[in-house]
Amino acid sequence: MAKPPAKNQPIDGVTRAAILLMSLGEAEAAQVLKHMGAKDVQKLGMAMAGLSGVSREQADDVMDEFVAEIDQQTSLGVGADDYVRKVLIQALGQDKAGGIIDRILLGRNSKGLEALKWMDSRAVAELVRNEHPQIVAIVLAYLESDQSSEVLALLPERIRPDVLMRIATLEGIQPNALQELDEIMEKQFAGANNVKSSTVGGVKCAANILNLMDTSLETQILGRIGQADKDLSQKIQDLMFVFDDLVEVDDRGMQALLREIPQEKLGLALKGADPTVKEKIFKNMSQRAAEMLKEDMEARGPVKVSDVEAAQKEILSVARRLADAGTIVLGGKGEQLV
């Protein structure tokens, strides 16, 4: 368990949030978590699971920062692991919560493949850069798409297309083979962990990873894959969701998405958007908000293409988070991303 924060030592943001949620009832905490992305849920879950010895004085200090008053009942006295399980299941449902629960409660001491999920992307890249491309492909398919995209971008340019093609053509791994790979990773930083999943890879996995990479790298890798396997390249593209595909989101979903996007970020992203996407977005804003956004875009002047693409990627990331939560449905080239 994590050490309790020292009395006079400043408490970091994640720990403060964890103390706040642990002080709420399970239902209330679950409602908060419903509005957060998977990565944030993992960070908060780990922080909650690691809380130990938090004093009433420290909890009250945290409460004062967030609310004017709070009920005296808290959940800090219950078993942390049970609390985390119940809250995550209420927030995400049994199916979605299962994997995250394992990563939170088991990930604290995990080694092997599972431990890679908790490592910095640069460290993972250094760890696998000299492995065979098939090994690298299995590792990246096992990780979350956003982490995999970061790792892939840090690998040598010459192996990126090969690795992504191998991910796209993976049809699952035998549990014993995955366990073997887990042991290989384990030898690099000691320890062991049981591998539960053997369903990794596939075209959808490759599309999700590529979708989160910088546009220049995305185009480069897809081009190289197209030279080697045109059909596979097309299958990957068909499952990718790009900014212009937002036009396929229904009005209610678009309104939910717009509530999550700062106007400054939206204005930057729209500088390079298709007119139909702009029209769709303006249509789902109040007249005054749409006029203000248009004025901001005109006043902004010329912007770098890379800045526009980065803003669009951020908005797509929010869209995928909302789709994962069931708030919106992503249409466009492929099916709903999960």
Instruction: Give 146-184 pLDDT, tens digit per residue.
Output: 888 999 999 998 899 999 999 898 876 766 677 777 777
Look up the CATH number of domain 243-324.
1.10.220.30
Segment 179-197, tens digit of pLDDT: 777 777 766 655 334 333 3
- Evaluate whether 327 touches 253 at the Cβ level (below 8 Å): yes
CA nearest neighbour of 201 among 253, 277, 140, 286: 140
Q: Is 306 helix (H, G, I), strand (E, B) or coil?
A: helix
Measure the CA–CA gap between 54 and 75, rounded to whole angstroms: 12
DSSP string, 112-172: HHHHHTTS-HHHHHHHHTTS-HHHHHHHHHHS-HHHHHHHHHHS-GGGHHHHHHHHHT---
Domain ranges of the chain: 13-109, 115-238, 243-324
Per-residue pLDDT at 67? 45
Phi, psi values for residue 291, rounded to 5°:
-65, -40
Inter-residue contact 2 to 51 (CB < 8 Å): yes
Q: Comparing 115-238 with 243-324, is the CATH topology the same?
A: yes
Percentage above 90 pLDDT, the chain: 7
Tell me the mean pLDDT in the region 91-104.
61
CATH class of the region 115-238: mainly alpha
CA distance 74 to 59: 9
Query: Who has greater pLDDT, 185 or 100?
Result: 185
Between the alpha carbon of residue 129 and those of residues 80, 117, 133, 150, 191, the distances in Å are 38, 16, 9, 13, 21
For 299-319, letters b (16+ CB in 10 Å) and e give eeeeeeeeebbebbbbbbebb
